Amino acid sequence: MAVRSTAAPPTPWSRSLAEPKIHETAFIHPFSNVIGDVHIDANVIVAPGTSIRADEGTPFHIGENTNLQDGVVIHGLEQGRVVGDDQNEYSVWIGSDASITHMALIHGPAYVGDSCFIGFRSTVFNARVGAGCIVMMHALIQDVEIPAGKYVPSGAIITNQQQADRLPDVQAQDKQFAHHVIGINQALRSGYICAGDSKCIKTIRDELAKSYTSNGNKFEFEELERSNDVASSSLGAETVEQLRYLLEQGYKIGTEHVDQRRFRTGSWQSCTPIEARSVGEAIASLEGCLQEHSGEYVRLFGIDKGRRRVLETIIQRPDGAVQAPTNFKAPTNQTNKSYNANGNAHSYSNGSGSSSGKLSAETVDQVNQLLAGGYKIGMEHVDERRFRTGSWQSCTPIEATSIKQVVAALEDCIDSHQGEYVRLIGIDPKAKRRVLESIIQRPNGSVSSSSSSSGSSKSVVASASGATSSAKASATSTRLSSEVVEQLQQLINSGYKISVEHVDQRRFRIGSWASAGQIQANSVQQAAAALEGYLGEYQGEYVRLIGIEPKAKRRVLETIIQRP
């Protein structure tokens, strides 16, 4: 394929007519443009619609194994330079093994380190993004330096160094995902190069012809055919894709079955272990389990190195029909809710919890996250009179380790204390501290869903489900509800830092929260007074309370306490 690359145009600030220097192993799609002094290293892929324009700011460097996806724009200002890893000055430096995804903008002066991931439509301008950072979709990074290994959530606007310094760390599953994207694009690079080589294409077509030219019943199935040809198996495309993902990530694969009578008690039994090294072998083993236990529930799951389950999904029900995972996709930029901090996505789908109505889907999800994280689970209750003084009492300790048993224990506690507040507790057994406190029942007996915290998917977020009603009260009287005061007390007792953020209605939709500052208080009275001051200062805006663990520099609480 011909590469559309041209020399830089002569201008008042540059008459060098510099041309791109592109390594022979790189693939530049003919529907992309590369202009001027651009250095592209080995094994880079530049997808259709990408514009790399070193005609004003110059030069550019793009490191080996990096992928620039569809619609990416790289440009730079005449003024301003960054120092690359080779200690030379560049308008734009993009390191090795980086992923600049669809429609992202890198505008110099800008530095993007090795193994970085820049999400869809995100912008990096006049900034440095350290090695190993992951920037999700629609984020703006400007005039700051992001330390190495930090995670920038979708929609974030990082325009001052204080915001950059308090970003959470990238987690292990994020690194795996970024590495997975590199692998996908390297395969695409090889494929595109082959597609432009008549000899390479002819060889593949000859192999396909052999596979489908049979003498009756004898076919030669390659691995790719076995994994993609769903018609050859009883499994759906989503289940095959789930198997492929588990194998690629190095997870072990397990299956369990249970009849209708024992389904309600969660008495699952294991099928024969799947010791497959390829998707084809895994499909064959899974089909064997489905056939052997026709008329029963069958579920598929993965097991990580920490012996924790991931992607637990029911794939067959008693009528014998194979049920594909609902819209299963390997983890992408949208995994904040479906994949928790430990990379787990358990499906509590056996029907007993949801049909009982005692626990909300959010509460079941919280339990899943706690179990996956190795945390202990507890319950506490208190009547209305003692609620104001915080005199909570413990329910029967929960020693269970399965989701079914834990849900049953939680429902027993709720049944035993109708007409009272009941809250779910998560406890870190090593540090002997609480990581979550969430009210799940109120005195009218209603089950409360936990108020979600969209800003941090990297940690277990403690939140109070009554934040909305209390926020309305605080907005009119600037007085804090008892729940907010209780949260302040918990943060102070745990040694967490306390801060406040605010945002107006227009920017609330894109999550552009601005920091109001930290609260330096030694007592709950001082903290409450400072918090009330912020509520008064930002009347007519959203205000949220933040709790930060100082050692790990991660957020443990985000809850909106005032609404417009």
Q: Do 27 and 55 touch, CB atoms closer than 8 A?
A: no
**Where are any strands of DSSP class E within 225-316?**
252-258, 269-270, 297-303, 309-316
For 178-209, give the DSSP string. HHHHHHHHHHHHHHHHHHT-HHHHHHHHHHHH
SS3 content of the chain, % helix, strand, coil (to 5): 30, 25, 45
Distance CA 388, CA 481 (A): 10
79: Cβ contacts below 8 Å, ≥ 6 apart: none
DSSP H or E run through 142:
strand 140-142
- In this structure, the strands spanning 105-112 and 433-441 are unpaired
Other residues' Cβ atoms within 10 Å of the Cβ of residue 536: 11
Q: Do 158 and 128 touch, CB atoms closer than 8 A?
A: no
In order of 199, 375, 398, 437, 450, the CA distances from 425 in angstroms are 63, 10, 11, 5, 12
- Cis, bond preceding 318 (omega within 30 deg of 0): no
Q: Which amino acid is at 503?
A: V
Q: Is 256 a catalytic residue?
A: no
For 147-166, give the DSSP string. PTTBEE-TT-EE-SHHHHHT
Residue 54 backbone dihedrals phi, psi, to 5 degrees? -95, 65
Distance CA 297, CA 280 (A): 23
- DSSP-derived letter for residue 226 is H
Q: Specify the 3-state DSSP secondary structure of 280.
A: helix
Q: Do 100 and 118 touch, CB atoms closer than 8 A?
A: yes
**Residue 517 burial (10 A CB sphere; 0-12, 13-18, 19+):** exposed
Distance CA 361, CA 390 (A): 26
- Distance in Å from the first CA to the final CA of the chain: 56
Catalytic residue among 56, 362, 501, 541: 56
**Where are any strands of DSSP class E within 383-503?**
393-394, 421-428, 433-441, 497-503
Active-site amino acid positions: 56
